[in-house]
Amino acid sequence: MKTVPTADEILDRSFRRAARKMREKRNKDRANEEFVRAVSSAVHDRLVQIMQDIPIIEDLSPFYQDMVDILFGIDRFKKSLGAVGWAAKQTRVLGSRMAREVRWSPDTQVKRKQAVARIASVVHQIDEHLRFLNDARNTLRKLPDIREEYTVVVAGYPNVGKSSFIRLVSTAEPEIAEYPFTTREIILGHRKVGRRSIQFVDTPGLLYRPRIGRNAVEQQAINALMHVADLVLYILDPSETCGYSLSDQLSLLEEMKDLVPAPMIVVVNKADELLLTGYSNMSTLTGEGVDAVLQEILTRAAASSTPRPGHSQSEIRL
């Protein structure tokens, strides 16, 4: 997806193109009419090109479709695309009608100026949409590039040690801090296992609350859980030093078990503070127990060989 120009950038470029075309023409009799045609076709072609450069949302993988929806709203995105389409059509229709008017006008110079102003006004009307699409483009190209590898999504309440775990076992270097909601977006890490690579996804912390109440940060975690996980590692902090009760963490766990299609491993972190029987216990602070959890993940990964198709970001030509 290429940079989306502003209205003024489109107009400047189209005027320059039209002017260049005029200079090449020997016959100046119909210069004003030709200029209007040239401007309108340059604007039209540029707008069509913008539409063609923008990925078709339905062609994206579910993860990226949801990402567009979470970050901008699919309706908003489509509305702006629709506006560009409208302007392209308007410019062509107006252009040919006004070019004819210029031809038959007693004062072709004045008529030409009016025609160009009309075209400029159409393009200016969609300036806000062009700017929105460019912002969206800039955000989309920064999204993590989910690879077609066995993918482990690490989830749980805020502040339980998800990022600490990801840092220990993968190439990712997410920020770790003693306050909740440190991680605010999806972060990817990888780990070489023989000739294979396993993908680890760090997610923002989730709270147990109705789905519609979840903000864009939490929705990104849900999106990763729903669409890219081959395995979910759900981390509990029974020490409650994270600031949330174990019972709330367990309620969220039950909700995620119902919601998420991928299999799940539940582990306890901060074992240096408190152990919980019936679970694998680890401490991402001391490193104790971390290797056993990693081995469990690697065993699961080894048992599954088929990569999920269609997650590569290359397909959206960003």
Which residues of the chain form contacts with Mg ion (CB under 5 A)?
Answer: 162-163, 182-183
Q: Collect all residues with Cβ–Cβ distance below 8 Å to 200 and sequence separation of at least 6.
A: 151, 152, 154, 166, 169, 170, 172, 188, 189, 190, 191
Which of these, 106, 103, 82, 284, lies nearest to 202 by C-alpha position? 284
Cβ at position 177, least distance to Mg ion in Å: 8
| DSSP, residue by residue, 188-251 | EEEEEETTEEEEEEE-----SS-GGG--HHHHHHHHHHHHT-SEEEEEE-TT-TTSS-HHHHHH
- Contact yes or no for 103/61 (Cβ under 8 A): no
Q: Which is nearer to ligand GTP, 103 or 214 (CB)?
A: 214
Q: Which is nearer to Mg ion, 14 or 283 (CB)?
A: 283
Q: Which is nearer to ligand GTP, 273 or 315 (CB)?
A: 273
Q: Which is nearer to Mg ion, 176 or 318 (CB)?
A: 176
**Which of ligand GTP, Mg ion, none lies near 159, with the C-beta cut-off 5 to 8 A by kind?**
ligand GTP
Cβ at position 219, least distance to ligand GTP in Å: 15
Q: Tell me how far apart the alpha carbons of residues 260 and 228 are, in angstroms, rounded to a whole number.
A: 10
Cβ at position 204, least distance to ligand GTP in Å: 6
Q: Which is nearer to ligand GTP, 140 or 235 (CB)?
A: 235
Cβ at position 311, least distance to ligand GTP in Å: 23
**Which of Mg ion, ligand GTP, none lies near 258, with the C-beta cut-off 5 to 8 A by kind?**
none
- Contact yes or no for 242/180 (Cβ under 8 A): yes
Q: Which is nearer to ligand GTP, 51 or 217 (CB)?
A: 217
Cβ at position 199, least distance to ligand GTP in Å: 17
Cβ at position 156, least distance to ligand GTP in Å: 6
Q: Which is nearer to ligand GTP, 130 or 293 (CB)?
A: 293
Indicate the helix (H) or strand (E) that contains 30: none
Cβ at position 126, least distance to ligand GTP in Å: 39
- Contact yes or no for 261/226 (Cβ under 8 A): yes
Q: Residue 312 has which token pair?
A: 């590569």
**Which of ligand GTP, Mg ion, none lies near 86, with the C-beta cut-off 5 to 8 A by kind?**
none
Q: Which is nearer to ligand GTP, 48 or 264 (CB)?
A: 264
**Which of Mg ion, ligand GTP, none lies near 220, with the C-beta cut-off 5 to 8 A by kind?**
none
**Which of ligand GTP, Mg ion, none lies near 199, with the C-beta cut-off 5 to 8 A by kind?**
none
Q: Given its phi and psi angles, is residue 37 left (phi above 0), alpha (psi -120 to 50 degrees) or beta? A: alpha
Binding site for ligand GTP (CB under 6 A): 158-164, 176-178, 180-183, 204-205, 269-270, 272-273, 283-285
User: Could you give the C-alpha distances from 44 to 86, 87, 102, 133, 149, in angstroms and in order?
Assistant: 10, 8, 19, 17, 42
Count CB neighbours of 146 within 10 A: 22
Q: Tell me how far apart the alpha carbons of residues 118 and 102 are, in angstroms, rounded to a whole number.
A: 13
Cβ at position 163, least distance to ligand GTP in Å: 3
HSE, CB side, 13 Å, CA atoms: give it for residue 92: 10
